[in-house]
Structure 1
Amino acid sequence: MPAAVRAALDAELATARTAADPAVAWRAAERAHILSQPWPWPHTVVHAAMLRRALRERDVVEAVGQVVRLAVAGPGSATGRYPEGNTGRARVPLTQPMPVPNDLAALLAR
């Protein structure tokens, strides 16, 4: 993982873990997910953070969805079979590609 992507991922994960406002936390987690998709371990770490957030919020649907995603994140990244831009949330289809925000696309293109 390039250093610039790692720095952006770490910043988004820190916000996802510490933000008091759930909307801010989830937006940061989604952005971290997009950044992490090409790498198996970071991708798995992001889904673990999403699972912790879902449990903290007592969101059963999100928690179950994150358990499923934890099982497939690493292998999907390792084989290059992941839906680019997908936010990683349980309410988004597992295989649905989505637009990558411009700032993240620029980081990932380097």
Structure 2
Amino acid sequence: MQPILKAGFHSEMTAARQAYENHAWKTAFYHLERAHILGQRYFWPHLQTHLWMFRFGLKRRDVKEITGQSLRILAVFPAALFNWVPEGNTGGANISAIKTLPIPTDLQKLLDSE
């Protein structure tokens, strides 16, 4: 991961953690989704976002999110092996794991830095 993209990913993860600690659930998940978009092509960042989304599901007692993230955590391994991810996918259980989505302009600029 190039430095500009890495900095963007870490910025989103930091914002997610801070919001999580402040019980700002919507904000925390929003930043996790943005981090997922930035990190999904890289094994550890991709796994990290899904682990945090799983943690979010546990904290909120959200069975759909817990189940969805359990499956997505397992899917990180073949996704990395075959280098396939649906671009723009936000990673939450509220979206199909194989659905491609538009990438926000500010995140696209970071991805283009690669």
Cα 1:3/1:74, change in 2 over 3 Å:
farther
Which of 48, 54, 73 pairs up with 1:51?
54
Equivalent position of 1:89 in the other structure = 92
Which of 72, 81, 85 pairs up with 2:75?
72
Whether the 8 Å contact between 1:30 and 1:88 is mirrored in structure 2 is: yes
Provide the rounded CA distance (Å) in 2 between the counterparts of 1:87 and 1:56: 19
SS at match of 1:86: coil
In structure 2, the gaps of 5 or more residues are none
Equivalent position of 2:3 in the other structure = 3
How many residue pairs match? The answer is 110
Whether the 8 Å contact between 1:40 and 1:77 is mirrored in structure 2 is: yes
**Percent of aligned pairs with the same residue?**
38
Question: Are 2:38 and 1:32 equivalent residues in the alignment?
Answer: no
Residue range with higher mean Cα deviation, 25-34 or 15-24: 15-24
Equivalent position of 1:15 in the other structure = 15
SS at match of 2:88: coil
TM-superposed CA distance for 1:66, in Å, is 0.4
Q: TM-score, normalised by structure 2?
A: 0.91
The one-letter amino acid of 1:2's match is Q
Following TM superposition, the consecutive aligned residue runs of length 4 or more in structure 1 with deviations greater than 2 angstroms are none
Equivalent position of 2:104 in the other structure = 101
Q: TM-score, normalised by structure 1?
A: 0.94
